[in-house]
Structure 1
Amino acid sequence: MVSTSKLSANGGKFITNGTKYRSIVGALQYAVVTHPNIAYSVNKVFQFMHAPCDILFQAVKRILRYLQDIADNGLRFTSSSRLSLTTFVDATWASDVDDRRSTSGFCIYFRGNLISWSSHKQQVVARSTAEAEYRSVASTPADLSVDYGFS
């Protein structure tokens, strides 16, 4: 997905029969399991399943072309003697043009291998970039404890 594109529920001409759009986007949900790099893009087009338009369908086709280009890539697991848990967290402030909520995301690596990742909209509207980043950093350990039983 083009990083400067802002998808919206009000952009473009609506598709009368959205069955094909829903089918392709539903199938892309399974591709996210082995290609976490498309999780954000798939999440964005998934948000408009109820009313797809031509601009969203173009974004879906762009994701499919990207997957075709990287067909041989995927998650690689390697062995490592170093016992380490590394987390990367980021947020985009007010990235949704419809409701102005920020998007948080994180990746967790254990011994250099990706074990968990997530991208989701924040529950409230942040007033600044710093607040969006803080909320993202604060929610990651909570998500980790819920997913893996850490306390």
Structure 2
Amino acid sequence: MVDCKPLSTPASVTKLVTPTDELFDNPTQYLRIVGALQYLTITRPDLAFSFNRLCQHMHSPTTEHWGLVKRVLRYIKGTLDYGLQLTPSSSSGIHAFSDSDWAGCPIDRKSTSGFAVFLGTNLISWLSKKQRTVARSSTEAEYKALVDVSAEVTWVVSLLRELGLYSGGPATLWCDNLGATYLCANPVFHARTKHVKIDYHFVRDKVASGEFVVNYVSTTDQLADIFTKPLSTPRFTALRDKLNVVSTTPCA
């Protein structure tokens, strides 16, 4: 793949492949390459969604999955000098974006959660992960994503307190689903969501105690969108820039 033609995105905006495809004849090669890619994702959050999707098929990769691997490598070929940029920030506040792709997997209809946590203007934590259970509504899927980012922000706050760097203000969580934001603050809505596990009310307790503030953000401004689904080239490039994944090659 050294001389391959670069691509502008790591994932095509198409539906996921089905398990009925022909099995790849060299699964060891698939495992080796995908296993190596996990180290690159440490500084490349733009690869998180694609890597998460590839890892879901480690047990029985197909020829279509191998094609997805090669697409990721072609994207990397064109962005070899890209990395996560960290810069001095005048703010030490914590804000995070959470999103989900409801029933995005055509095989088991499970949703994909994604989040991005910022300390000031710098991205410090991110996630792309398939949810463990099937969500019965988009609101439930988004609420599960809020739980994931709430747990992560709680850990970040704890770490900053130990280091003596915590500003003391509430963390701001941004979600593009109004139903999920209402669930965080209005206990009346929980009568309609008894099928949601008790641990999902973790977010509401954090909001009630003043540790978190959950606000609505439009889908257009939802930065975590890049962690939940394949995107078109303009949308992917715009979100990648907002995550501070930029070229590290000095300008001439």
Q: Same fold, TM exceeding 0.5? A: yes
1:80–1:112 CA contact under 8 A, matched in 2: yes
* Residue number among 35, 54, 58 corresponding to 1:45 in the alignment: 54
> In structure 1, what is the Cα distance between the partners aligned to 2:149 and 2:59?
30
- Structure 1 gap segments, 5+ residues each: none
* Residue number among 87, 92, 106 corresponding to 2:96 in the alignment: 87
Three-state SS of the structure 2 residue aligned to 1:149 is helix
Give the match for residue 63 of structure 1.
Answer: 72
> In structure 2, what is the Cα distance between the partners aligned to 1:73 and 1:92?
26
> In structure 2, what is the Cα distance between the partners aligned to 1:35 and 1:23?
19
- Structure 2 gap segments, 5+ residues each: 1-10, 160-210, 212-252
Give the match for residue 35 of structure 1.
Answer: 44
Say if 2:125 is the partner of 1:116. yes
For residue 139 of structure 1, report the CA deviation from its aligned partner.
2.9
Three-state SS of the structure 2 residue aligned to 1:12 is coil
Moved more, 83-92 or 137-146: 137-146
* Residue number among 22, 27, 39 corresponding to 1:13 in the alignment: 22
Q: Residues 47 and 116 from structure 1, CA distance in 2 versus in 1: closer, same or farther, beyond 3 angstroms?
A: same
> In structure 1, what is the Cα distance between the partners aligned to 2:150 and 2:56?
26
Structure scoring higher RCO (CA < 8 A, sep ≥ 6) equals: 2
**Which segments of structure 1 move beyond 6 Å, counting only runs of 4 or more?**
none
Q: Name the count of aligned residue pairs.
A: 150
Give the match for residue 116 of structure 2.
Answer: 107
> In structure 2, what is the Cα distance between the partners aligned to 1:62 and 1:31?
15
> In structure 2, what is the Cα distance between the partners aligned to 1:112 and 1:65?
30
TM-score, normalised to structure 1's length?
Answer: 0.91
User: Which has more radius of gyration?
Assistant: 2
TM-score, normalised to structure 2's length?
Answer: 0.56
Say if 2:18 is the partner of 1:2. no
> In structure 1, what is the Cα distance between the partners aligned to 2:115 and 2:17?
22
